[in-house]
């Protein structure tokens, strides 16, 4: 048998099995994937990891359940964000009923667990970036507002503004919005017009609160006055406005785009700190970093043993999160997916966070 070949009929699978092949990788660019892929379906492997648990470890079904619920909510909310933007670009009003219902589901989930939804919504597919970014910014803003002690009512308002923060993109030409490369100066001028002000007609019938309007109109403003659309500076920016700029940049940096790979969270946060106080508010950026923790959910980390895992739960000890082990960097091969609670593996430790692109790992397939 050759190393790579197309399976064109069911009998081919029988032949593969008879030939004793224990491991296959499905290249879904060549054809259909299996019907209902679960997180492990694109990589079927007979190899197992070499890490030895220090005691018997069982995977925590509660974490898996939360990951799956978050994933479902992100998918559903992204479709609603897509519909809302589609409606507005077709000249209709913002569907506030759909907005409020989505916000309510997101705030409820963040209230129960502030980490999982935030981590899951960061993992995006390139094509749906615009809509998934709305959902991710909504989840992050909700968690940030909760962390800073805002009231439930205020959190609802902030969350609503966050889901609609890029509503102006409904009027941005698609060739600019989805351009697979750097924008020219002229295109960037048009792109910047998506950042609407309080006076824009788009928001006339939305009945948005002041805090929601702060998110929508200030997420591209900067403390030094070099932001847009109005170039507000210093005290002209509200706390919520400054929070929205931090969240918006963090999500954009750590997301995969058509023209760039996703930055690893700690690299993004380090850069963001270096942009303080001109581009971002220093005190709020520090609080944001504290909220996310050392290894935010959704980060990819390399362990001392060479295993690679995705952080799926911060864990009780900040440096020893719960991981989903997916890869062996020494052998450069995938391994049987399994949970590893690092607090129960004292001999194992995190060597460093890594970027998914360094091992060509498609995060969306594993979380």
Pick 221 or 281: Cβ nearer Fe ion: 221
* Under rule CB under 5 A, residue 251 binds Fe ion: no
Pick 137 or 284: Cβ nearer Fe ion: 137
Binding to Fe ion (CB under 5 A) within 181-200 occurs at none
- Among 19-27, 150-158, 165-173, 320-328, which window interacts with Fe ion (CB under 5 A)? 165-173
Q: Rule CB under 5 A: choose which of 156, 157, 166, 313 binds Fe ion.
A: 166
- Among 2-10, 23-31, 162-170, 348-356, which window interacts with Fe ion (CB under 5 A)? 162-170
- How near is the Cβ of 294 to Fe ion at its closest, in Å? 28
Pick 166 or 214: Cβ nearer Fe ion: 166
- How near is the Cβ of 161 to Fe ion at its closest, in Å? 12
- How near is the Cβ of 166 to Fe ion at its closest, in Å? 4
- How near is the Cβ of 140 to Fe ion at its closest, in Å? 14
**160 and 103 in contact (C-beta within 8 Å)?**
yes
Pick 44 or 171: Cβ nearer Fe ion: 171
Q: Which residues bind Fe ion (CB under 5 A)?
A: 166
């Amino acid at each position: 048998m050759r190393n790579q070949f197309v399976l064109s009929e069911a009998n081919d699978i029988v032949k593969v099995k008879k030939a004793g092949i224990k491991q296959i990788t499905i290249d879904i660019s060549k054809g259909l994937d299996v019907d209902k892929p679960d997180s492990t379906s694109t990589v079927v492997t007979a190899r197992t990891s070499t890490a030895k648990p220090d005691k018997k470890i069982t995977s925590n079904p509660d974490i898996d359940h939360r990951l799956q619920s978050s994933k479902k909510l992100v998918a559903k909310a992204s479709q609603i964000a897509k519909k809302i933007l589609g409606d507005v670009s077709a000249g209709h009003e913002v569907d506030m009923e759909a907005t409020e219902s989505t916000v309510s589901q997101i705030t409820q989930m963040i209230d129960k667990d502030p980490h999982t939804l935030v981590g899951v919504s960061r993992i995006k597919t390139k094509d749906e970036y615009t809509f998934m970014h709305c959902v991710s910014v909504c989840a992050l803003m909700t968690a940030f507002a909760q962390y800073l002690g805002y009231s439930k009512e205020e959190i609802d308002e902030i969350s609503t503004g966050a889901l609609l923060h890029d509503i102006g993109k409904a009027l941005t030409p698609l060739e600019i919005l989805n351009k697979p490369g750097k924008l020219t100066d002229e295109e960037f001028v048009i792109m910047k017009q998506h950042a609407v002000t309080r006076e824009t007609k788009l928001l006339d019938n939305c009945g948005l609160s002041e805090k929601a309007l702060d998110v929508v109109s200030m997420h591209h403003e900067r403390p030094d006055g070099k932001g847009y659309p109005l170039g507000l500076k210093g005290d002209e920016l509200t706390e919520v406005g400054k929070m929205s700029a931090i969240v918006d940049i963090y999500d954009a940096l750590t997301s995969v785009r058509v023209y760039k790979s996703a930055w690893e969270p700690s690299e993004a946060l380090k850069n963001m700190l270096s942009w303080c106080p001109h581009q971002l508010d220093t005190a709020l950026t520090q609080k944001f970093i504290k909220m996310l923790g050392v290894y935010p959910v959704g980060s990819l980390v390399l362990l001392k043993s060479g295993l690679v895992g995705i952080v799926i739960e911060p864990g009780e000890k900040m440096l020893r999160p719960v991981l989903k082990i997916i890869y062996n960097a020494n052998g450069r091969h995938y391994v049987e997916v399994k949970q590893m609670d690092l607090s129960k593996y004292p001999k194992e430790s995190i060597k460093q966070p890594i970027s998914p692109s360094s091992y060509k790992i498609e995060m969306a397939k594993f979380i």
